[in-house]
Structure 1
Amino acid sequence: MITKDRMRADIAKILHMDAGDVQDDDNLPDLGLDSLRLMKLVLGWEEAGLKADFGLFAEHGTLGEWWQAIEAQQAG
């Protein structure tokens, strides 16, 4: 199961940042998250059991938005 903290840590790692520096409302493309890095993250999360469409991540630009959409998807 993927957690928000795991996602935050993975984002930070791929951007060469500390996890504490990635906030829920940070615009991830502004921090350097391009489509190739995003694809790599999503593939890793899918391997860990996350069931989410790549479009969800491409459509939203913050960890908070991603997590909100994932929670809604899991609940529904």
Structure 2
Amino acid sequence: MTNETTALSERVIEDVAAALGVGADELTVETNLLDAGLDSVRIMSLVEKWRADGFEHVDFPSLAADPVLGSWIDVLS
């Protein structure tokens, strides 16, 4: 993993953890975010945040279709 990829992974994990109200250390790349309590409103909030930060290719259907944290990191990469 490059430093850029690692930084992006850490950021996604931190953003998702904040949305869930848990510590980043409670999540793994295998975490199913719907099972962890993430709902559609919070997914949309994350999409809006990431799009505002320049990740214009991120959309709700892509994230909702595969709600595993590692998949989301791949989408954002």
Taking structure 1 as the reference length, what is the TM-score of the superposition?
Answer: 0.82
Task: Render the CA deviation track for 1:25-55: whole Å, top value 9, x for unaligned.
Answer: 0110011100000000110011111122221
Q: Which residue of 2 aligns with 1:54?
A: 60
Q: How far did 1:68 drift?
A: 2.3
Question: Structure 1: where are the runs of 5+ without partners?
Answer: 72-76
Identity of aligned residues (%): 34
Matched length? 71
Question: Structure 2: where are the runs of 5+ without partners?
Answer: none
Q: Which residue of 1 aligns with 2:39?
A: 34
| RMSD over equivalenced CA pairs, Å | 1.8
Distance 2:60 2:20 in 1: 19
Taking structure 2 as the reference length, what is the TM-score of the superposition?
Answer: 0.81
- Aligned AA for 1:58? A
